[in-house]
Structure 1
């Protein structure tokens, strides 16, 4: 038979676990909201990137997270969503936003991986060690939308 103190400990663990899961994953509507381009654009330092995507984006039908978060599994997705999200919140509210926003090394690998994941039939015979934007220079946010390659 389980003692009263053991029941209390089990109850505390269950409540703490449920609370932890709620904090990690939040209510579904909140998670869905943070995955929209409008949410990404709500930070004023991302306005030009959003405008470039919104008005001329060749990839207008996809969301920011489709390129900028790992898609290989849900664990990596939510881990990096949390890490990048908290980093962005800290940078924004601490006033440490750089003049030019650049991808981290991990961000570059993630974006490159997502390019090849979506375009795998096209890039099957291409050197995948290069970044897509080395040739497709205008696919970066500041020049989004054109498919011009370097000559």
Structure 2
């Protein structure tokens, strides 16, 4: 009976070490820790986001706003990392199961976050538009208050006109400087 206990103990230790090694390898291979940062390059660890990165990199927003500035809640660390975890999970499932399309569409929750961040960053422009609504918006078009999103008019900012996994110009990924 003593020999069986040793086998169980050694087997348990070996199983734990193998599981730990696989976990460490997964963290390393997936660049998992990079997702805790605000570096836009973290968003292209998965090649499906290369078109979004390539078009953002050529945009007017490149020097003032990174991916997390537009796509995640600002000011509340818990909400930010919760959104990051949910989006990361959804992205990894879609990538692993190959259920995404060539033209990636933002979720309703993601669109709400982006809209809130557009309004937050461009508050002075929004105030001007509201004061001069009769000059900039007709009654037919409406205003931000009735559910329109900023990108309904500014749809090519910051991700450009042509954007899909197969047709984005300069979508060759990021090359590290040598």
> Partner residue of 2:89?
86
Distance in 2 (alpha carbons) for counterparts of 1:59 and 1:71: 17
Corresponding residue number in structure 2 for 1:38 = 41
Cα distance in 1, alignment partners of residues 37 and 161 from structure 2: 24
1:130 equivalenced with 2:148 (yes/no): yes
2:134 equivalent to 1:115:
no
Q: Deviations over 1:36-59 (max 9, x none)?
A: 1111122111111111111x2110
**Contact kept? 2:94, 2:100, Cα under 8 Å:** yes
Question: Which aligned pairs between 1:58-69 and structure 2 lie closer than 5 A?
Answer: 58-61=60-63, 62-69=65-72
User: CA shift at 1:72, angstroms?
Assistant: 4.2
Where 1:143 maps in the other structure, the secondary structure is: coil
- 8 Å contact kept, 1:133–1:140: no
| Pair 1:31–1:38, CA change in 2 (3 A) | closer
Task: Name the structure, 1 or 2, with higher relative contact order (CA <8 Å, separation 6+).
Answer: 2
Other-structure match for 1:77? 80
Contact 1:34 / 1:40 at 8 angstroms: preserved in 2? Answer: no
Gaps of 5+ in 1: 1-28, 145-151
Aligned to 1:102: 105
The TM-score, its normalising length taken from structure 2, stands at: 0.58
Structure 2: give runs of 5+ residues left out of the alignment: 1-31, 134-142, 163-178
Match of 1:3 in 2: none
The match for 2:56 among 53, 56, 74 is 53
Partner Cα separation in structure 2 for residue 32 and residue 83 of structure 1 = 12
Deviation at 1:140, TM superposition (A): 4.9
Higher CA-based Rg: 2
Counterpart Cα distance in 2 of 1:142 and 1:41: 17
Tell me how far apart the structure 1 counterparts of residues 36 and 74 of structure 2 sit (CA, whole Å): 18
Distance 2:67 2:48 in 1: 15
